[in-house]
Amino acid sequence: MSKKSIRMTTTVAALAAGAVALSACGGGSGPSDASGAVEGTIAYGFWGTPARAEKVDAVGDLFKEAYPDASIKTEVADYYAYIERLTVRAAGNDLPCATGTQSTFFAQYADNGVLRPLDDLIESGQIDVSGIPDDVLEAGQIGGEQFMIPTGTFVRLLAYNADMVAEAGLEKPNDDMTWEDYAAWLEQLQANLPAGVYAAENEGGLMFTFSSWIIGHGGEVFTEDNELGFDKEMLADYLQYWLDLADAGVILPPSSIPEQNGALELTPMATGAAVAGTRDIPHIYITEQALAGAGKPSNIEQVSIPSEDEDQSANILGSNGISIPESCDNVPTAAAWIDFFANDVDAALAFQSDNGILTNTDAQDALLEDDATPDGVKQNVTILRGLTEAGDLTTSRYPAGLNTISNELRPLYQPVACGEMTVHAAVDAFFASAEDALN
């Protein structure tokens, strides 16, 4: 039975430091002027590798062909440098007219008036969103207003090495597992694995896995009042779940946790040291390639994240996208760029879904039909299509304090896993830090 799609409503909160920096300079009396011709040069800022930058430049060339009087100047940095620079530039009203944003961090900029609402551009037809599924589009909304146009999606699923499961003589996991079912399956799997191989990675310190745990248990991560939406018992149960799995010897020991946070190709699943773990959809193909390159069993398959309610999906969807700051002085060209990047089929083929799975369904069709599309991209689109058709997704927005909260869980879990801190003490410390971040 497929799980119904639900929407997890989260709080739009601001990091304490970010709020101070942004409130001084952000904001405006309303949407900036959107009239006028598509002309002139605008900057597009985004994060990524030199390879991604080359693809964006190719899209920029196509945009120039469509709009001869306009052009795009690209500005790229690696992810963490980009985030740091974004805060500084936002405080100085110096953001690019087309600014790359993500559902995990755009809230603080929208909440402080740094980003321009895009609803008038959608209503006028300057930005067409008809090809983007509603659940995906909502990942760029706050309070019913559109501040980001999602151009790429990422969904975290439960991945497993199907070859290793078959060698162990076990049936594959399924989409309707509860967390208790998953634990029982891991114990059966572990009993049939060779020495030195673990049934799963250790995810007790991962906030995204904990978020799925909360949703799968009928809770919410954040309330509308800028507070945590779960109680201390929920977190304590989650931590104890992973401690019990560690005691049973079916997940990686605490000493191996750092290995899970390095390069994807070197994670325990990608080296064959663990059979199962959560992965974003694009990570599945990368993991397969790493295993195949090492001559190891490499068929990675995926199922839904466990949930206690068969009608409630715990597969959380996030989005990368493009926003327009209030300070932009060329809104018509910025809107045209967003519309082109999100919807043009030739642009989709040039970009090859490089930053999340493209959101436009026509673009997805083009990628699947084109022989030049890499196999991994086609696999990613196919997996997302299956989830969309099954209604097995949860659309989510994240508070601005998410990074602070996420960074607190991992260092608290490790001493708990090592027996150096009690679950009760870790839970109290987490709640104290989270409340500071959200308030």
Q: What is the pLDDT of residues 167-184, one digit of tens each?
A: 999 999 999 999 999 999
Instruction: Identify the pLDDT of residue 17.
Output: 33
Q: What is the pLDDT of residues 76-131, one digit of tens each?
A: 999 989 999 999 999 999 999 999 999 888 988 998 899 999 999 999 999 999 99
Kind plus residue range of the DSSP H or E element containing 207: helix 207-216
Q: Is residue 353 classed as helix, strand or coil in its secondary structure?
A: coil
Instruction: Identify the pLDDT of residue 221.
Output: 86
- Give mean pLDDT, residues 412-419: 93
Q: Are 148 and 341 in contact (CB under 8 A)?
A: no
Query: Which tokens go with 255?
Result: 């000493």
Instruction: Identify the pLDDT of residue 28.
Output: 43
Query: Which tokens go with 347?
Result: 């642009």
Kind plus residue range of the DSSP H or E element containing 200: strand 198-200
Q: Are 402 and 303 in contact (CB under 8 A)?
A: no
> Is pLDDT at 228 greater than 90 in this prediction?
no
> Is pLDDT at 438 greater than 90 in this prediction?
no
Q: What is the pLDDT of residues 366-411, one digit of tens each?
A: 999 999 999 999 999 999 999 988 889 987 656 666 667 778 898 9
Instruction: Identify the pLDDT of residue 152.
Output: 94
> Is pLDDT at 14 greater than 50 in this prediction?
no
Q: Is the dihedral of CA 326, 327, 330, 334 positive or negative?
A: negative
What is the rounded end-to-end Cα distance, in angstroms, of the chain? 40
The residue that leads in pLDDT, 102 or 143, is: 102
- Cα gap 332→127, rounded to integer Å: 10
> Model's pTM, two decimal places?
0.84
Q: Is residue 324 classed as helix, strand or coil in its secondary structure?
A: coil
Contacts by residues 174-179 (CB-CB < 8 Å, ≥ 24 positions apart):
174/303, 175/2, 175/3, 175/303, 175/304, 175/390, 175/392, 176/1, 176/3, 176/304, 176/310, 177/303, 177/304, 177/306, 177/307, 178/216, 178/306, 178/307, 178/308, 179/213, 179/216, 179/241, 179/306, 179/308
Pairing assessment for the beta strands 316-323 and 149-161 based on DSSP bridges: antiparallel
Q: What is the pLDDT of residues 144-167, one digit of tens each?
A: 899 999 999 999 999 999 999 999
- Give mean pLDDT, residues 289-296: 96
Q: Residue 260: which pLDDT band, with cuts at 50, 70 and 90?
A: confident
- Cα gap 159→104, rounded to integer Å: 22
| Amino acid identity, position 159 | A
> With pLDDT > 90 as the criterion, what percentage of the chain qualifies?
71
Residue 386 CA to chain centroid, in angstroms?
Answer: 18
Provide the 10 A C-beta neighbour count for residue 249: 13
When mean pLDDT is compared across 243-247, 341-345, 410-414, the lowest value belongs to 410-414
- Cα gap 332→39, rounded to integer Å: 8
Residue 301: phi and psi, rounded to 5, are -115, 175
